[in-house]
């Protein structure tokens, strides 16, 4: 709903406020969603499960910019119309979620001698493995910038028309779609930490593409491919790494007492 106010925001302060509220909403939804995925998956398949989720999510993220491109192609400079179309699809998505998706928790058979999960205690988050993971993710996160800045750099070097700009998001999402599940499976096999680091190496290579003194279709395609590889290697792999830590698992377990644990 915060995106509705983008139609009326005219200054920097208004835009910053709307985007802040929008990001808060995204943060509030991400935790429960990841908890549901975790509770519905076997521990050895977490990377694959999060990869499938991201693949499906990316399909929607690909269609959106493609529709924006079509709107701008046929009706140039109609940016307000793009927001209206986006809002309409958001309402449809919320309606489907509320009317058609049952709010059920995973149900599994439990043995008679199973013990009741112990309540979570915040001091358990002081675990060394979790601190190291948060520190490493924070440091690597400092390397990232918004995709929009990367795309603007590519546009300034290749000099293509602004109406083609949404297709850069489409290209990144297609690459993400292709990499998400294979990299999720690979993370389960060779280690999620290795895939997470590999993703940031791919990101550095994408930055190198934007730093070249020339632009071309090949450079743009390579940059989008590397960005898709980065997201496929890091986006849900970090969540899979976190829930593998006992302290995080104990945080999620009371929320889903019937979740599968073996």
- pLDDT by residue (tens digit) across 133-160? 778 777 877 778 888 888 888 888 877 7
Q: Please give the model's pTM, rounded to 2 decimal places.
A: 0.62
pLDDT tier at 206, thresholds 50, 70, 90: very high
Please state, for a pLDDT cut of 70, what percent of the chain lies above it: 71
- pLDDT by residue (tens digit) across 170-187? 888 888 888 877 887 888
- What integer pLDDT is reported at residue 136 of this predicted model? 78
Question: In the chain, what is the straight-line distance between the N-terminal and C-terminal CA atoms, in Å?
Answer: 39
The mean per-residue pLDDT over the stretch 242-252 comes to 57
- pLDDT by residue (tens digit) across 44-62? 777 677 777 777 777 777 7
């Amino acid at each position: 709903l915060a995106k509705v106010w983008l139609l009326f925001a005219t200054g920097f302060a208004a835009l910053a406020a709307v985007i802040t509220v929008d990001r808060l909403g995204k943060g509030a939804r991400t935790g429960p969603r990841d908890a549901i995925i975790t509770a519905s998956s076997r521990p050895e398949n977490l990377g694959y499960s999060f990869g499938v989720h991201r693949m499906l999510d990316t399909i929607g993220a690909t269609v959106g910019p493609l529709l924006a491109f079509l709107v701008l192609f046929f009706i140039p400079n109609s940016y307000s119309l793009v927001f209206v179309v986006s809002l309409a699809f958001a309402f449809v998505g919320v309606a489907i979620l509320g009317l058609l998706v049952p709010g059920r928790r995973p149900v599994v058979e439990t043995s008679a001698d199973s013990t009741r999960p112990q309540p979570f205690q915040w001091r358990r988050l002081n675990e060394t493995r979790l601190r190291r993971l948060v520190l490493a993710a924070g440091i690597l996160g400092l390397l990232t910038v918004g995709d929009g800045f990367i795309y603007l750099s590519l546009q300034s070097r290749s000099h293509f028309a602004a109406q083609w700009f949404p297709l850069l998001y489409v290209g990144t999402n297609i690459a993400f779609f292709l990499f998400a599940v294979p990299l999720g499976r690979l993370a389960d096999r060779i280690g999620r930490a290795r895939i997470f680091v590999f993703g940031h190496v791919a990101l550095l290579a994408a930055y190198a593409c934007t730093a070249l003194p020339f632009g071309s279709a090949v450079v743009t395609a390579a940059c989008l491919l590397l960005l898709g590889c980065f997201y496929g290697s890091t986006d849900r792999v970090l969540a899979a790494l976190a829930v593998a830590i006992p302290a995080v698992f104990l945080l999620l377990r009371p929320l889903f007492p019937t979740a599968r644990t073996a």
